[in-house]
Structure 1
Amino acid sequence: MRKYEMMVLFDPTLEDETLKEEVSKVEDLIKREEGALEKVDLWGRRRLAYPVNKKREGIYAVFYFQAGPERLKEIDRVMKINQKVMRFMIVKRED
């Protein structure tokens, strides 16, 4: 299993309770794909450098996890479908 970091930019109109549910859904997705979740950092609401989906702010969350490289395809597919996710990126960690 390799180590990955996934940064997710959530829609800024989400309520706190809805945000917690969405973070939980991402955690469940990683676990369902046989990944090992290490840590979740919620950065909170931040101003964006340029508009994304006509919004100037977003809610950032960073997920640190381990998973097999073959599992990223399904994680990527499900994240693209989620309407509450404006952007996301998965990178391989070197540590």
Structure 2
Amino acid sequence: MPFYECVILARQEVSAPQVETLIDEMAGVLAQGGGTVAKKEFWGLRNIAYRVKKNRKAHYVLLNLDSPSAAVKEMERQMSLNEDVLRVLTVRVDELEEGPSAMMQAKNSRDERPRREDRGFGDRGPREDRGPREDRPRRSEGGE
């Protein structure tokens, strides 16, 4: 069977458990068509680049699918009828990725980055340690 990656955007007013039940319903539609959901990743509530149906944020979900095309089309049809779903993008891929997606890797690496003070940028110290204010050049006042 062919492999697919599907990204779903759900409205921001919907709670996270409601998004999970929505995804479980869509997994049931795929199972009826003979397909399976290999991986589910909840990316959380994120900003959208532009307004979609008066929403500035959406719940993002990634699904890796191993399913026939008829089941995927039926899942997309049912999502288009659901008013909680803002957008759906399904792409056929040659093989499914193992492990976390690029979005989850970026989220994890952001948490592991050293703090700004630890990287050596905060070594200037407080303002009093930089010398008196009189030593600095002044801006000219008036038309001089």
Q: TM-score, normalised by structure 1?
A: 0.91
Higher strand fraction: Structure 1 or Structure 2? 1
1:15 aligns with: 15
- Percent identity for Structure 1 against Structure 2: 24
Cα shift at 1:16: 2.6
Cα shift at 1:94: 1.9
Unaligned runs of 5+ in 2: 96-144
Whole-angstrom distance in 2 between the partners of 1:74 and 1:17: 23
* Count of aligned residue pairs for this structure pair: 95
2:73 aligns with: 73
Whole-angstrom distance in 1 between the partners of 2:23 and 2:72: 17
Whole-angstrom distance in 1 between the partners of 2:28 and 2:72: 14
Contact in 2 for aligned 1:33/1:75 (Cα 8 Å): no
Q: Which amino acid aligns with 1:72?
A: V
**Deviation readout 1:22-58 (Å, 9 max, x if unpaired):** 1211221221221121000100010010000011000
Whole-angstrom distance in 2 between the partners of 1:27 and 1:71: 10
Give the RMSD, CA atoms, in angstroms.
1.2
Higher RCO (C-alpha 8 Å, min separation 6): 1
3-state SS of paired residue (1:9): strand
1:33 aligns with: 33
Whole-angstrom distance in 2 between the partners of 1:32 and 1:70: 11
Q: TM-score, normalised by structure 2?
A: 0.62
Whole-angstrom distance in 2 between the partners of 1:57 and 1:86: 10
Contact in 2 for aligned 1:40/1:63 (Cα 8 Å): yes
